[in-house]
Amino acid sequence: MADADPQEITVPASSRYGGQVLELFIPQAKIQGKVAEMAAVLSEQYRERCPILIGVLNGSFMFMADLVRQLDIDFEIDFIKIASYGSETSSTGTVRLLKDISADITGRDVVIVEDIVDTGLTVKFLRNRMEEAAPASVIFVTLLLKYEVANLDFTIDYVGFNIPNRFVVGYGLDVDQKLRGLRSLYAFREN
Ligand code: 5GP
């Protein structure tokens, strides 16, 4: 594993949050341990089957890449891209489909791979979109769940970390499209 990431990161000046300080929230080793655990559970659940994992762009690309490298079953992947409207650090009312899946998921076992569930609006939208295509089964996997905010009338099947309502950055998650490449998760300092 590469060297530990720094305790603090300053948001680059090219972002409107430039100069603000992010503090280490979940270090890379802890993320990698959790991803391996989740992959083991999924490998067990889908043994002798070939699920299609659908990553929700953009934020889930890194989680997806790490997760699939730890699976020891046959699987396929696809991606879907959703826009949710709101300010940069909080999501509000509406979601819109920007890129649909290309695979035919009728009769397939589908695993939706999310980076973070905040209000739950995105996963509700995804559930409706999946149901239209009549898959054999659909489960939801998310690395992070904001338990104080999420308002869901169904269960997220596998959650990596339940986190408080803080804006997190890194490991695929952005602030103003920046800092997705950080290997650890960081959070804005609480005021
Ligand atoms: P929802 O509110 O629909 O559950 O989440 C909408 C989207 O908002 C997530 O998929 C993610 O892209 C973004 N989001 C929510 N919370 C955070 C956060 O703490 N950090 C970042 N970077 N994005 C977030």
Q: Exposed (0-12), middle (13-18) or buried (19+): which is 78, by Cβ within 10 Å?
A: middle
From the CA of 174, give the closest atom in ligand 1: 22
Q: Is 58 among the domain residues? A: yes
Q: Is residue 115 flagged as an active site residue?
A: no
Q: Is 16 among the domain residues? A: no
Q: Is 150 among the domain residues? A: yes
Please say whether the beta carbons of 145 and 119 come within 8 A. no
Catalytic residue among 5, 118, 157, 176: 118
Q: Is 122 among the domain residues? A: yes
> What residue owns the CA closest to ligand 1's atom 23?
173
Domain extent, residue 76, equals 30-163
**Predicted confidence (pLDDT) per residue in 94-142, tens digit:** 889 999 999 999 999 999 999 999 999 999 999 999 999 999 999 999 9
Residue 117 Cα, ligand 1 centroid: separation in angstroms? 6
Is 191's pLDDT higher than 90?
A: no
How many domains would you assign to the chain? 1
For residue 118, the domain's CATH number is 3.40.50.2020
Residue ranges around ligand 1 (CB below 6 Å) = 59, 84, 91, 116-122, 167-169, 173-174
Residue 86 Cα, ligand 1 centroid: separation in angstroms? 10
Q: Is 177 among the domain residues? A: no
How far is 123 from 128, CA to CA, in rounded Å?
9
Q: pLDDT-based confidence at 28, cuts 50/70/90?
A: very high
Q: Is 86 among the domain residues? A: yes
**Predicted confidence (pLDDT) per residue in 54-95, tens digit:** 999 999 999 999 999 999 999 999 999 998 766 555 556 788
Q: Is 174 among the domain residues? A: no
